[in-house]
Structure 1
Amino acid sequence: MSSADFAAAQQRLQARRQLREQEYRARLSAQRDAQNAQRISTLPYPLNRLGGAGLTLWDTVKGREGTRPAFRVGQVDAELLDEELLELLKGQVGEGLKYYGSHLADEYKPEILLALRAILFKLSIWDHNASYGAALQGLRYTDARTPDPSRPAPKRWQKSVYGLITVGGRYAWAKWEDWLIARTSDYELPSARVRLAERVSNALSSAHALAAFASFLVFLTNGRYRTLLDRALGLRLTPTSAAISREVSFEYLNRQLVWHAFTEFLLFLLPLVGVARWRRILARTWRRAKAFFTGARGASPAADDDDPFVGKAGELGFLPERTCAICYADQNPAGGASEQQMLAQSATGGGGSGVIGSAATDVTNPYQAVPCGCVYCFVCLAQKIEAEEGEGWTCLRCGDVVTACRPWDGDVIVEQQASAGAGARPTSSGSGNGGKTVGFAALGGEDERRSLRQVSPAPTLDEKEAEVRGIISADAGAEESLLGSRALAESEEWARASRIVQEDEGSSTSSGSEDEQSEEIDEEEEEFEYDQ
């Protein structure tokens, strides 16, 4: 058979099928009309006069439509599962970004949600016409604008508009609200345009909330369109097959348990791999490559010998010496900010501590790094050096590699020793046991040796006891002679004082004579003390 004859045969078969379908639809229409006429005759009095309209009204009052077979609970559960998946992914991204800065997850929250929603939309609705939660519930999106009973997939323009509004629209609205909050939360009174924009934004939010609430009430009635956007675009969640079952499948729960066990194993394995060590190696390689290319292009400025801050290539080299750069970095987690931005943030008190005059950032127990000599707190510097496990820590002020620390000399000028390595203790890099230790450089070893002097050996116990007994006996004899002379002198003094008192009582003299007698007694007491 030729191709032309085969095409003609196909057309004849198609025409016969269409004719049979038309005859079948005509028979169904006749049967339906007969059944409707019989049902109309059985309706109550006011409704049997209305014909088909009365029958439709009677069916609406008698029962609900909508649970055939796209049940409402599955659609609501699908939306909840999508939100839970988004929150789970957002939490995992935040846990990963905290190692690069604890502020990144909060500062770039709209951008993170935009990226996650875009990825989920591409991998679920755009590729498979169903979201993650809808696939778990056995549902998919269909085009409800066509009366085709085969439930065709939505058009590309429908999915494009849906993704543009659910992904880009939410991001734009979040940024708009952040902008309004930033403009209205200042100390200054916002402008008239900002107040007008705020009122319009509040009105739109209220109108959208009311419309979404009304659409949800209609959805609870007929179960057709879950959200307001689905109703506007004509998208419905329908079962993937006609023989849908309401039984809950635990397949996704088994996958979740396996994934949870895998993540727990990774959390146990990552500390053994040494992610922090590889991160430091990559960061050091990047800095060296950047410095090499910068030097090759000749972009490094000429050094000024008169400038004391030349060579401070660290990210916090602009801080004064009294400020601990490590404490400042912990109090002001502004990673990637410029010097002017960090100074402005510290000056305005934007959630951090200031550069000068802050008790939280001042150096406590100053120690200087070896070999650069930058001053830090002892605890901060020791923790940083110990955490590097002997590989050296990059100084925040000058960018040098710090391997040890020593007490700060307070800018005291000391004589340089002939041999630089004499008296120095080994650092943690030379330890053979692999433990975490912090090395301290020794100062003034030769001076300590010069200050030492030869002393006589310690006396024995017998010699010491004999010496102590001789001293005690000599002190006892001297004390007895002194007490005897003192007792005799005191008795004579008391006799003289009693005679003076008796003379004073026998004679009535003026206050001037009393003063003279008291002065005489004082003089006699002074003479007695002088004689002793």
Structure 2
Amino acid sequence: MAAQGSQSLVGMAEADVGGGGGVGAPPADAWLQAWRAIAPQWEQIRAKVKTVPDVPILRVNQIDAARLDVEMTGMLKEQLSRVFSLSQPGLLLRYEPELNAFLEFLVWRFSIWVDKPTPGNALMNLRYRNERSFNTYLKFGKVRTGLEGAGLTKTQKILYCLLVVGGRYAWARLQLISAFQRWGDRQRTSWARRAWLLLQKAESLYKIAGFANLVLFLHSGRYPSTVERLLGARLVYEKPDMNRAVSFEYMNRQLVWHEFSELLLLILPLLNMMSIRKVLMFPFSTQAPASSLPEDACPICEACPIVTPYMALPCCHLYCYYCLRTRSLSDRNLKCSRCSVSVVALKRYQVEAGLDGSGSTDAASQ
């Protein structure tokens, strides 16, 4: 039965082909119509296959790179300040904007200008890429990882120097000039007051632009600064196969020392340092007994004559003020070094000359 059914189906197919235009026969251009129907979908699939996925650059790496560049400039500034430490006081403070601009120019000259990453970018495995020319690489199929692309052009490099280095220097210098010459306190019709108001408005606009750029950066992860967005200079990974290696060794060491210092600050005020010092120095002490010292010598430091003499009450033996005061503060049960009587108070020892030329002692309470 199955053989007979298959033979009947083959016969019907042969009849349709032989009839050529019978009922159910496909048109001659059926394959062309079918291709035209699926061509748009096929082109979309090809476009999706060719499009390289955008590699996300960690935002924290980009922010840390900028911060490291600032720290690098600060280290160079500190070293340069030590060189001029013996010069005229206030010399570097007077030319601080010029000094900062010079150091930032050196960093730009030996990094961005020669197509090398800045110190911060190098530590974070980042480099600048000309985002506007990246589409050319994508068009010719030269993109595989999404991190390819040429560096900045000479125009972009020069504009970066003018906007970042020159802009910061000009702004800092104008701020100092307006502050020292008091442009804000001038008359409203004066050019200085108008320039000061213009600076305030420019600062406000720059802050608003910076805030808007920060929101866009947190959303897309591109262009952490306004200048980079204007120039089309994007930070991408320099080495695609390099993992993000974060070392916590320095942080752990700082935390250990911080906690150790906090512990010392908590414990040291509770210790009697004078008693500990006495116990530790007793085997090596060569101080003579206090009873053998003269009356005008301090029993503690053996100074003769006594510096700022004070009496220990009630025994009235004389001590240096500093010696007696520090011992009384560190030891509440202080005993006199000469007679071993407990010291309960301190009094100033003074010698006043009488009218007949004879001397008399007077004690003032301390």
Alignment TM-score, normalising by the size of structure 1: 0.34
The structure whose residues are more often strand, as a share, is: 2
> Relative contact order, CA 8 A, sep 6+: which one is greater?
2
Alignment TM-score, normalising by the size of structure 2: 0.49
